[in-house]
Amino acid sequence: MLHAARVFGLWMLASACLPAATAQTPAQESRREAPRISILAEGTRAETPCWILTAPEPGPTVVIVGGMHGNEPSGASAAEQITSWSIGRGQLVVVPRANVLALEAEQRRTPGMLGNAGDLNRQFPLDGNPSEGIAAALWGLLEKHDPAWVVDLHEGFDFHRTNPKSVGSSVIHCADERAEKLALKLIAAVDATIEEPGQRFDRLRSPVAGSLARAAWEKAGVRSMIVETTTKSHALSHRVRQHRLLVHTLLKELGMQPSPAATVIGPGMAPDTIRVAVFDGSGTGKGAAGTMRSVLEGQAGCVVRRIGGPDVRAGVLSQFDVVVHPGGSGSAQAKALGVEGRAQEVAFVRAGGGYLGVCAGAYLAACNYDWSLGLLDAQVIDRKHWRRGVGSVDVEWTSLGKRTLASGSSAQGRQLFEIQYANGPIFQPGEVDELPDFHALLVYRGEVAENGAPKGIMPSTAAAIRSSFGQGRAMAFSPHPEKTDGLHALLHNSLVWLAGDGQ
């Protein structure tokens, strides 16, 4: 069931103004009315919110649907972010998570339903109307709002251009000339951001029978498109960015004057909510950003979006309180950010933002690599043996660490406890005069010393550290609290400190 608090929370997120530094001008902020939210299939297990954004000036209505297939999260995430946009003309009707049951199960079809019966995007027959559930509710939206367009956001497993078995990276439009012309414009906009020719978008004609897009055009005369990104070799933030750009281009072409950039992804400014951006660009370990997101979202009071290098370079950090760099490779994450992205991150923290680095993200926060951000006056020692191994290792609280991080964790009543470790940095105080000294929060007591790493280096060094940086704050964990049962609260407590004010 969708709890009232959740709906209220969503409304608060959407209705709040975005910070001034985002891409929206004050004029656009003021023209944004609070969206209305209705609940589709209310009272059933499948109930899901529908957002209605109305512009001050008349214009076309566009329905945007995400999350029809539960194993295609990028459409759902993009649609969720689009609910924070403003438009100057017309109306946007957005259903970000059409099939909540399948999304929760992370599978294509609704759990417990066989074959096409569980495939929400095969429930729109060309003879007769869907009579129940979300399919009927979505069809009802077309009847109620009489949109000019319906756009359905999906993703395929491979690039259609090089593997025709998949529809990944394509725009599939209804059999209509205007739709064809518009599809070409959308493709031109997204292709301009793609370097690899084999990853460019293809235009395909006529959505599959049984789909919402096919029925919308053939039965209701509503022009339609299915937009497909590609899961293969693209992080979630990359696919979401492509979806946003395609939808933004469509709205612009239709004269709806969407908020000036497709980089407004803001979780808003709801009171008592920490807005967290988790980096998932290249250099992020497989599954690391997803794990981090679910651990952080599992704690109360956090709204999490995943972002990549291009998002950082486009200035999205101004919409967040804290940026998180998870495990993987520090140097590769630095490369994905690029010189400009790294400068943006440093400026973000200097101006009052929070930085949380875990393992690779801790290397990235250090001061002694030519690619590191230098947010903490900490240098990594024994760099030659960075592959010192993976395993469980003993750590001890410092009194500051216990005060800042322990609450709500299984280590709250203990002094020494185990934490997962995977080739994290070994820190020593740095020698950067302009930076304040770091404070240790955890100290290694045990050790991992494999692959030729000498023994005795790791014990007594700081395993987690924090410091102020300009107006902002930075914290780094060498080990992995997010991968250790009972220690997830450490990350939540770190966000609370990072989002706080002052020294």
Part of the chain binding Zn ion (CB under 5 A), chosen from 15-23, 151-159, 356-364, 392-400: 151-159
Amino acid residing at 496: V
Q: Does 466 bind Zn ion (CB under 5 A)?
A: no
CB 315 within 8 A of CB 262: no
- Nearer to Zn ion (CB atom), residue 104 or residue 437: 104
Q: Does 154 bind Zn ion (CB under 5 A)?
A: yes
- The dihedral built from the CA positions of residue 292, 298, 304 and 306, taken in this order, carries a sign that is positive
Strand ranges in 41-194 using DSSP code E only, listed in sequence order: 48-54, 57-66, 89-95, 149-156, 170-173
- Nearer to Zn ion (CB atom), residue 70 or residue 472: 70
CB 465 within 8 A of CB 378: yes
**Integer CA distances (angstroms), 284 to 197, 363, 401, in order:** 24, 13, 26
Interatomic CA distance for residues 36 and 24, integer angstroms: 20
Nearest-CB residue for Zn ion: 154
- Nearer to Zn ion (CB atom), residue 69 or residue 325: 69
Please state the closest distance from residue 75 (CB atom) to Zn ion, in A: 8
- Nearer to Zn ion (CB atom), residue 73 or residue 353: 73
CB 372 within 8 A of CB 361: no
Nearest to 64 by CA among 236, 219, 244, 191: 244
Part of the chain binding Zn ion (CB under 5 A), chosen from 69-77, 281-289, 302-310, 331-339: 69-77
Give the angle subtended at the CA of 83 by the CAs of 79 and 85, to the nearest 5°.
115
Q: Does 109 bind Zn ion (CB under 5 A)?
A: no
Q: For the beta carbon of residue 251, count every other beta carbon within 10 angstroms.
A: 27
With CB under 5 A as the rule, give the number of residues binding Zn ion. 3
* Residue selected from 32, 69, 173, 483 as contacting Zn ion according to rule CB under 5 A: 69
Q: Does 214 bind Zn ion (CB under 5 A)?
A: no
- Nearer to Zn ion (CB atom), residue 83 or residue 170: 170
Please state the closest distance from residue 273 (CB atom) to Zn ion, in A: 31
Part of the chain binding Zn ion (CB under 5 A), chosen from 23-31, 147-155, 179-187, 356-364: 147-155
Part of the chain binding Zn ion (CB under 5 A), chosen from 63-71, 161-169, 325-333, 365-373: 63-71
Part of the chain binding Zn ion (CB under 5 A), chosen from 23-31, 61-69, 179-187, 236-244: 61-69
Interatomic CA distance for residues 233 and 278, integer angstroms: 18
Positions in the binding site for Zn ion (CB under 5 A): 69, 72, 154
